[in-house]
Amino acid sequence: GESVGLHLPTLSVQEGDNSIINCAYSNSASDYFIWYKQESGKGPQFIIDIRSNMDKRQGQRVTVLLNKTVKHLSLQIAATQPGDSAVYFCAETNQAGTALIFGKGTTLSVSS
Amino acid sequence: DAGITQSPRHKVTETGTPVTLRCHQTENHRYMYWYRQDPGHGLRLIHYSYGVKDTDKGEVSDGYSVSRSKTEDFLLTLESATSSQTSVYFCAISGEAGGVSEQFFGPGTRLTVL
């Protein structure tokens, strides 16, 4: 069945370090991928997305890498700050292309 | 932030009672979604709508129904709530079809079924 997973449920880093959050996906036909950040008590917030015709996309302090060969997606956060502490979800298009399938999330903890 | 509100924000109810959650948007987006979020499961799609009166089932639709009589409102109904429906419910909207663009999420409704 369809599934989107993250390699690690938790990640702890020091302030100023770079963070890398990984995600493996199963639908080789997916053509759209997205990362969300969710802070405690709030709804998920869009961070960055990427389409399958790209392998890298950069935003402000964030970079998403897509490796379609091994069906792997990663989110890199540069100079991680305490405000980056949250749960991060990756998502991919479902088989029908009608909805997003979310992974279970990685909790990022940033200590100062 | 996208104009999405959910009501109520918190609700405690008893097993067997009907419950309706409301999602209201001011963005005039065509697509609307209901998800539930549980520990260890992430976000799972319950139902979605691709226009007024047009809805379809998601991954975990059993025990839930939806209605969309206006562009701005998407209602989720639990006809007879069960304890397994205790969860945090999120509404989301998007301007394009569900799998091809970002979705914007509401603040969530925490539902407890005793």
User: Is there a contact between B24 and B91 (Cβ–Cβ < 8 Å)?
Assistant: no
Distance CA B28, CA A20 (A): 36
**How many residues in total does chain B contain?**
114
CA distance A18 to chain B (A): 25
The closest of A88, A17, A44 to B102, measured between CA atoms, is A44
Average pLDDT of chain B to the nearest whole number:
93
CA distance A13 to chain B (A): 22
Point out the residue among A43, A93, A96 whose CB comes nearest to the CB of B107: A43
Contact A104 B107 (CB under 8 A): no
pLDDT (tens place) for every residue of chain A, 112 residues total:
334 555 678 999 999 999 999 999 888 888 899 999 999 999 999 999 999 999 999 999 999 999 999 999 999 999 999 999 999 999 998 877 778 889 889 999 999 8
**Is A102 in contact with B44 (Cβ distance < 8 A)?**
yes
pLDDT for res A30: 87
Residues in A closer than 8 angstroms to B92, CB to CB, are 43
Residue B3 in contact with partner chain A when CB distance is under 8 A: no
Which parts of chain B have pLDDT scores under 50? none
Which pLDDT value is given to residue A95?
76
Task: Determine whether the interchain pair A100/B106 forms a contact, defined as Cβ–Cβ distance below 8 Å.
Answer: no
* Rounded distance between C-alpha atoms, residue A40 and residue B98, angstroms: 25
Q: Is A100 touching B (CB cutoff 8 A)? A: yes
Cβ–Cβ of A49/B102 closer than 8 Å? yes
pLDDT of B52 reads: 94
Task: Give the pLDDT score at A3.
Answer: 46
The 3-state DSSP class for residue A82 equals helix
pLDDT in tens, B76-89: 999 999 999 999 99
CA-nearest residue to B110 within chain A is A41
Find, among B25, B67, B53, B97, the residue nearest to A94 by Cα.
Answer: B97
Q: Cα separations (Å) of B10 from B47, B74, B112? A: 20, 17, 8
